[in-house]
Amino acid sequence: MAHQIDNAPAKADGPQHNESKADLRRSTIVRTLMENGTAQIKDLAISLGVSLMTIHRDLNDLQDQGLVRRIRGAVTAEKSMLHESSYVFRARQFVDEKRRLARAAVAHIDPGNAVIWDDSSTTYHACDFIESVTPVTVITNAIPVIERLRDVADIELIALGGKYHRVYNGFFGLACEKAIQSYHVDVALMSTTTIQGLSLYTQDEQVLRVKQSMIRIARKKILLVDESKFHFSALNHVADLSVFDVVIVPQTVDERIIQYLQQNGINLELV
């Protein structure tokens, strides 16, 4: 998977912007190490366009989380911890932005709806707002959503089984896909690894198949995309953006991207 970070739009300076840039760098480092296992520290600095001092600060943070280990000018993924920590790491990124997206998504859900809900760390934040539209039925393969909503009154919770995947902290595989196909729902609440052009992509085939299954059974399809998703590429095409009734994105996304999507008929909601 190639990482396309050089074309990130420039924004005004400020503490929030600096934090977002650091989060984006650290996410890129984690992705690189998940793919390659190891990298030279100086190569990371060059590819990310930052100083060695900045890279060392990023690596200190990742090392404190138990995700990486430095060895003689290189950095390697802590394999035993990386898979266990991957979802937790993603869940800590861009939290305020993801909450805005989730609040806007829940506004498209009506009481009485059946909602299928993917395993993304973005859609998870809809847990904070879903009680405003209860009663609802929630169908999900995401362990964090199941744990969060299991005791919430007026939510009928249906857990999709299948093969447990530690990286995504959810269920996937043939059993999960078959279970999805047995339902028809009002709303699909989804996110994605990346947006490239007019399509969404992911790096994992089993994630692709679950997302495509969710798309097929939903009357209304809602996609939540934080700003960082426009700076990466991934191998597997999931769907065209045109299949979604609404694509919710933050106002911080580059105006050129916004205009391009709108000119091609994508129904965007800016939050």
Tell me phi and psi for residue 57, to 5 degrees. Answer: -65, -45
Closest Cα to residue 113, out of 94, 85, 132, 141? Answer: 132
Q: How far apart are CA 138 and CA 115, in angstroms?
A: 5
Q: How far apart are CA 207 and CA 91, in angstroms?
A: 17
- Residue 51's contacts (CB-CB under 8 Å, 6 or more residues apart) are 45
Q: How far apart are CA 149 and CA 71, in angstroms?
A: 42
- What pLDDT was estimated at residue 28? 85
Instruction: List per-block mean pLDDT (blocks of 10 residues) for the chain, which spans 271 residues.
Output: 38 43 84 78 93 92 81 75 55 81 97 96 94 97 96 96 89 97 98 92 90 98 91 85 97 94 97 95
Tell me the CB-side half-sphere exposure of residue 81, using CA atoms within 13 A: 13
**DSSP per-residue letters across 142-195:** BHHHHHHHTT-TTEEEEE--SEEETTTTEEESHHHHHHHHT--EEEEEE--SEE
- What pLDDT was estimated at residue 77? 73
Q: Which amino acid is at 177?
A: E
- What pLDDT was estimated at residue 65? 74
What is the rounded (10 degree) CA torsion for 248, 167, 205, 8?
A: 40
- What pLDDT was estimated at residue 130? 97
Closest Cα to residue 262, out of 106, 192, 201, 270? Answer: 270
b vs e for 209-226, b when ≥16 Cβ sit within 10 Å of the residue's Cβ? bbbebbbebbebbbbbbb
Domains of the chain and any CATH numbers: 15-91 (1.10.10.10), 95-270 (3.40.50.1360)
pTM beyond 0.95: the answer is no
Closest Cα to residue 120, out of 226, 218, 23? Answer: 226
- What pLDDT was estimated at residue 15? 37
